[in-house]
Amino acid sequence: MKRGLIPSVLMALMLFSLPFAAAEGDAKTVTFGTCSVASDAVRIDLGTQRVEDWDSFIEFLHQLPQLEQVDMFATVVEEKEINRLKNAFPDVKFGWTISFAKGKHQIRTDATAFSTLHGSCSRHTSEDFSVLQYCTELKGLDLGHNDITDLSFLENLTELRVLILADNARLGGDPKYRGIDKIGKLTKLEYLELFSCNLVDISWMENLTHLIDLNFAQNNVLDCSVLVNLKQLKRLYLWQRNWAYRQLDLPSKLPHTFIMNNKKPTANNWRSGPHYEIVHEMFQTGTYIPFADSYE
């Protein structure tokens, strides 16, 4: 071999080996407690392992640049840790068990149904429910009998089919300032309870074209004309003064809808309707159950 060719051959061999060295480096193992994963992992599941040292955990995650999802349901996470993780890893989807409302409730972020199971005694505020924005798989949500003043946390819960907000009296007022109009974007809703919320406007209901059951009795709504276009309604409970009710003439415009115009929100067997037992069961079990006549 000619002497001039030796450097060229060596250079070619070095260049040829570089990709293999990089690939080997990319595949190193990263460990946190009993969890060991490749540094190019896209998804990890901590299983039964709980996170107690948050600094070490965050350092561990920083070594996984391609990470897209972390499931860590064995760890009960509070809002301060949630904010810390979301700030550090805004593009990563986390599976958490969330503690909220001052530790009175817990929910997994993959839950399909949740209820505070409140009567009229123990009440929570909007701030207590802000973490529900991460529970994007919810299809049933019951936050009735609370003191909610802002529904902005509903914005990400676009899969909701059943929503109960009854007896949240402080929701009343201009919907723009209470986030009530966020409900109007939940276009998959089939069952909605809003009685005793001091509502004055329901114009945002115009896009709720899958609603089957609607109850907003014991409110202060005068203009209910939006209901005329909700032809799919099967049960409608509302309260309008007699003159306004006669003027709108809902029975003739919604001939296939059972309509109850009464101040009492659960009068005439609202709670013995065809869907109520299903709703009751889903909130007792924490698992969404579709209606037999669901549109899907």
Is residue 13 a part of any domain in this protein? no
Is residue 2 a part of any domain in this protein? no
Specify whether 63 is located in the same domain as 154: no
Is residue 17 a part of any domain in this protein? no
Using the 8-state DSSP alphabet, how is residue 51 labeled?
P
Is residue 125 a part of any domain in this protein? yes
Distance CA 243, CA 131 (A): 43
Residue-by-residue pLDDT tens, the chain, 296 positions: 445 544 554 444 444 443 333 344 556 999 999 999 999 999 999 999 999 999 999 999 999 999 999 999 999 999 999 999 999 999 999 999 999 999 999 999 999 999 999 876 679 999 999 999 999 999 999 999 999 999 999 999 999 999 999 999 888 876 655 788 899 999 999 999 999 999 999 999 999 999 999 999 999 898 999 999 999 999 999 999 888 899 999 999 999 999 999 989 988 889 988 999 999 999 999 999 999 999 87
Q: What is the distance in angstroms between the CA of the first residue and the CA of the last residue of the chain?
A: 75
Last residue of a domain, one of 54, 80, 100: 100
Specify whether 115 is located in the same domain as 75: no
Task: Provide Rg for the chain, Cα atoms.
Answer: 27
Last residue of a domain, one of 53, 77, 100: 100
Structural domain of 295: 103-296
Specify whether 217 is located in the same domain as 76: no
Query: What is the CA angle 247-253-255, rounded to 5?
Result: 125
Specify whether 123 is located in the same domain as 67: no
Is residue 5 a part of any domain in this protein? no
Is residue 9 a part of any domain in this protein? no
The model carries a pTM of: 0.87
Q: How confident is the model at residue 14, as a pLDDT?
A: 42
Name the 3-class secondary structure at 29.
strand
Last residue of a domain, one of 100, 122, 150: 100
Is residue 224 a part of any domain in this protein? yes
Specify whether 37 is located in the same domain as 179: no
The residues, any chain, with a CB within 8 Å of residue 206's CB and separated by 6 or more, are: 184, 226, 229
Number of separate domains in the chain: 2
What would the two tokens of residue 60 be? 């561990």
Q: How many CB atoms lie within 10 A of CB 28?
A: 10
Q: What is the CATH number of the domain that holds 178?
A: 3.80.10.10
Q: How confident is the model at residue 21, as a pLDDT?
A: 36
Is residue 270 a part of any domain in this protein? yes
